[in-house]
Structure 1
Amino acid sequence: MRTNIIIDENLIKEALKISGLKTKKEVVNLALKEFVENRKRKNLMDLKGRIEFDENYDYKKMREEK
């Protein structure tokens, strides 16, 4: 999708330097990807205390059964 936006030039320069990416497009895409991933992780954190885990759950044993 083509979009025209005004971005803080100092911020984009710093992001380019820190990331090692070559273009503004790459920086914006990475920033959006990381933003979405962080929000999804935050949403999972909202479930803390709402899910009961089986104390006898043994994922290693389940792998051996296959």
Structure 2
Amino acid sequence: MSRTVIDLDDDALAEAAQLLGTTTKKDTVNAALREIADRRRRAAAIERMRQMVDEGEIDFAAIGHDDADGPADGKGQSAA
């Protein structure tokens, strides 16, 4: 791990710590860096999938899926 001295926006750091559930500056900055990298990676993957759908490489209709509001067993009745 590298060590860097930087000026931080104290208000932004405090808000990020609260949102991320971190307690130290180091943990907050590292968690924020990981989160933004993960978000960008997921966004790029979604965009690649959209392009594949547009190009006919993926057909979600052929995959089949359960109704998001229904049970996973597909029988139309909830387990509760």
TM-score of the two chains, using structure 1 as the length reference: 0.69
Partner residue of 2:58?
53
SS at match of 1:49: helix
Q: Highest relative contact order (Cα 8 Å, sep 6+), 1 or 2?
A: 1
Query: Following TM superposition, where does structure 1 have runs of at least 4 consecutive aligned residues deviating by more than 6 angstroms?
Result: none
Report the counterpart of residue 36 of structure 1 in structure 2.
Answer: 37
CA contact (8 A) 2:17 2:23 kept: yes
Which residue identity does 2:52 align to in structure 1?
A: R
For these two proteins, the number of residue pairs brought into alignment is: 57
Distance of 1:50 and 1:28 partners within structure 2: 35
How far has the Cα of 1:5 moved from its partner?
1.1
CA distance in 2, matches of 1:49, 1:20: 36
Segments of 5+ residues of structure 2 without an aligned counterpart are: 65-80
Q: By how many angstroms is 1:26 displaced?
A: 0.3
Q: TM-score, normalised by structure 2?
A: 0.59
TM superposition shift of 1:18: 2.8
Q: Give aligned-pair identity as a percent.
A: 33
Q: Which stretch of structure 1 is more off in the superposition, 13-22 or 39-48?
A: 13-22
